[in-house]
Amino acid sequence: MIWARWLLKFFLILWASPYSFMGLTIGLIGLASGGRGRLRDGALEFYGGWTQWVVRHLPPGPYTQGMTLGHVIIGQTAAGLDDCAFHERIHVRQFERWGPLMGPAYLLCSAWLWIYGRDAYRDNPFEKQAYDAECRNGNN
């Protein structure tokens, strides 16, 4: 049965791989520009260098600590990634569930919310799921 778990994990990694590839590209450029990387809890994390610049300039603003792309989490600093680790792992699982549909689904939810005058980030069901799980786990 162990082989079945490995096969499932391989499929989930493959399913989320288009986004993981984008995150890996950002992370490798970050490494080349003085950033750092690490493997933690089944995800690659990159921070510092150009990666830090990218995260700081995301739409949520300079206070963004991290962003998940498949099985890659990019962040500004190691401490910031430590702070948002549980939240971002929820997003890793969402990418495993939604695969290549995750980006369009997330953006469509945000657009719908924005059109109807709601908060495109905080009211997004993907973010709500991550924040709710954080609260239930006592990580907030």
- Tell me whether residue 2 is exposed, middle or buried, using C-beta atoms within 10 angstroms of its C-beta: 0 to 12, 13 to 18, 19 or more: exposed
Between CA 108 and CA 106 the distance in angstroms is: 6
* Segments making up each domain of the chain, as ranges: 2-137
Taking the model in full, what pTM does it have?
Answer: 0.93
Query: What is the arithmetic mean of pLDDT over 111-119?
Result: 97
Between CA 106 and CA 101 the distance in angstroms is: 8
Q: pLDDT tens digits for 98-110?
A: 999 999 999 999 9
pLDDT reading at 140 higher than 70: no
Q: pLDDT tens digits for 43-59?
A: 999 999 999 999 999 98
pLDDT reading at 91 higher than 70: yes
